[in-house]
Amino acid sequence: MCYDIKASLEAQLKRAQRDGDENAIDEIMERLVPLTDLPLFHASGFSHPELLIYTDDSPSFPAVATWGLVPQWVEDNAQQKKIWNNTLNARGETIFSKPSFEASARNHRCIIYVDGFYEHHHFNNKTYPFLIERKDGEPIAFAGLYSDYRNEAGGIMKTFTIVTTTGNALLAKIHNNPKLAGPRMPLILDLEDEELWLQKIDHDRVKDAISQLINEFPAEKLKAHTVGRLRGKEYLGNVEQISEEVVYPELEFN
């Protein structure tokens, strides 16, 4: 699962900056960034924030998209609002069989760059939030799917979901929700797999090619620390200090 993220402008621009195209960066800053909700020191997917995504149709220049995939077959805004809380994540194991995701898995894949993601640990009937980041300080590249939904007003709404996979050893310690069959984590792509995720693949080969990329990210490349509450009256909101470490003495992790 991945319902809470941290995403700075710097992380979101990482891919565009690789090409060194200053004109493109200026255009993104001027035309796209004002349409996003960046920076997101903490954002819940259930608030459906606007972020930058890099698509298979435009690998170097991002688009603004809303978190919560709305399939093209959705008929009206009422159905859209009903479905998109259920499409924040897409289980990697079933993206080619679920009606909400199958078309996007074949033809509309994307990458979302973030600084880190938050997961909750359950202990003694309480939950404790952790921030997970890369040890090398690089942005995390999430594998995603996207869809262009035409709303009732005739406008095109670009939406996305984050693909998930089984949790690695680190997430097995943190993501221990008793209501779930096992730990989950977002599908994180290494640099070489980013290009494979975004490549155009023939219909007959796409399922096998993409399924090979759906793996746990190595635990040794990630780090985690506890942070303040992300829910309830103690929640500070989308402020910089929300991702700072908060020690809970009762936890074994500390």
C-alpha closest to that of 130 among 141, 120, 140, 115:
120
Average pLDDT estimate for 170-180: 89
The pairing of beta strand 4-7 with beta strand 116-123: antiparallel
Task: List CB contacts of 23: < 8 A, sequence separation 6 or more.
Answer: none
pLDDT score at 75: 85
CATH of the domain at 176: 3.90.1680.10
Q: Work out the pLDDT band at 253, boundaries 50, 70, 90.
A: low
> Is residue 146 included in any domain, yes or no?
yes
State both tokens at 153.
Answer: 């007003």
> Is residue 211 included in any domain, yes or no?
yes
pLDDT score at 94: 97
Tokens 């938050």 -> residue: 118
pLDDT score at 131: 98
**Cβ pair 109, 200 in contact under 8 A:** no
For residue range 17-65, list pLDDT tens digits in order.
988 889 999 999 999 999 999 999 999 999 999 999 999 999 999 999 9
Domain range enclosing 60: 4-243
For residue range 104-118, list pLDDT tens digits in order.
999 999 999 999 999
Residues in the chain: 254
Secondary structure (3-state) at 115: coil
Is the pLDDT assigned to residue 13 strictly greater than 70?
yes
Which runs of E-coded beta strand occur in the chain?
4-7, 40-44, 50-55, 58-67, 89-91, 109-114, 116-123, 126-134, 140-150, 156-166, 184-186, 222-226
C-alpha closest to that of 140 among 4, 7, 3:
7
C-alpha closest to that of 131 among 71, 43, 215:
43
> Is residue 67 included in any domain, yes or no?
yes
> Is residue 252 included in any domain, yes or no?
no
**Cβ pair 71, 55 in contact under 8 A:** no
> Is residue 204 included in any domain, yes or no?
yes
The pairing of beta strand 58-67 with beta strand 156-166: parallel
Q: Total domain count for the chain?
A: 1
**Cβ pair 131, 122 in contact under 8 A:** no
Give the residues across from 134 on adjacent strands.
222
Q: Give me the helices (H) in the chain, please.
A: 9-12, 14-18, 22-27, 77-83, 102-107, 169-174, 191-198, 203-211
Q: Work out the pLDDT band at 178, boundaries 50, 70, 90.
A: confident
Q: Work out the pLDDT band at 202, boundaries 50, 70, 90.
A: very high
Secondary structure (3-state) at 190: coil
> Is residue 201 included in any domain, yes or no?
yes
State both tokens at 123.
Answer: 């202990």
Tokens 């908060």 -> residue: 246
> Is residue 248 included in any domain, yes or no?
no
Is the pLDDT assigned to residue 130 strictly greater than 70?
yes
